[in-house]
Chain A
Amino acid sequence: MKKVLYSMMGIAVVALVFIANVASASACFYCHYQPEVPESLRK
């Protein structure tokens, strides 16, 4: 059970990193509010 939870968290992290990169690469993700993009993703 712990192993499944651990691998699910790994998948969640990969998905979140992907979302962060896609969101920071676009001019706007979709809605009218833009959270502050972390320095490491600014380009």
Chain B
Amino acid sequence: MEPNLYRRLAFYLCQQNQLPAEKEYELAYALEVLFINILNLTLTLLIGWLLGVLPGTAACLLVATAYRHTAGGTHARSPWICAAITMCVFPVLAWLGAQLAGLPVVYTRVAAVAAFLLGIYAICRYAPVDSVQAPIISEARHRRLKKYSYLVIGILAAVMLLLEVGSSMWLYARTLQMCGALTILWVSFNLTDTAAKLSQLLDRQQ
């Protein structure tokens, strides 16, 4: 969708509700965020479904949303590159998770512990990672997001532990555990400088 279309829609909503002019930018921003995320989410789940790994893809998306919400990460300059990355990476992570979950239990446990430790390290070293379009200006907000990132990784670790306990009763738990671990590793990688350089390289290809 063209950026002008968000602005026009926001302008119309502002006029109808007699809102001040500065609200137009906020509404246009919300419309853009909403549209891009819904489109990405739908297409990613569709690909996951086509690959036969829909629950795994949904789990990967949930973990990534929770983790990236506070820790941030590298961003593409174009929504189309973003869509391509999301549509490729998460179904592949889910497929990989399903394959690796078939290995002996020790591998899933090692992956979960490694993901947690690397996640903690990445948060400690890099989080929160902002972008030029959405800079984190205030120091207090920076500290708060870092603190929440630790909280999120703690919650994700607790969920992994619950899946470990529940794996004797629920066969799919191992797959979800592996999907979660792989996603944590992916999002942690997205916090690093290497990921930022890779993203710049992709932007230049456009």
Interface of B: prevailing SS? helix
Instruction: Give Cα A25 to B72, complex, Å.
Output: 11
Complex CA gap A28/B40 in Å reads 14
Kindly report which residue of chain B lies nearest to residue A15, judged by CB atoms: B30
Chain B interface category by residue count: 35 or more
Considering only residues 120-177 of chain B, those with a C-beta below 8 Å from chain A are 127-131, 133-138, 141, 145
Interface residues of B in 28-43 (CB under 8 A from A): 28-34, 36-37, 40-41
B30 engages A20 (CB within 8 Å): yes
Q: A34's contact among B10, B65, B133, by CB below 8 Å, is which?
A: B133
Interchain CB contact under 8 A, A12 and B68: no
Number of interface residues of A (CB under 8 A): 30
B69 lies within 8 A of A29 (CB):
yes
Residue B178 at the chain A interface, CB threshold 8 Å: no
Using CB atoms and an 8 Å cutoff, list the residues of chain A in contact with chain B. 6, 9-10, 12-13, 16-17, 19-20, 23-43
Contacts A17-B26, A37-B133, A37-B134 known; list 15 others, CB within 8 Å: A9-B13, A16-B27, A20-B29, A23-B29, A27-B145, A28-B75, A30-B40, A31-B36, A31-B37, A33-B77, A33-B81, A36-B133, A40-B25, A40-B26, A43-B137
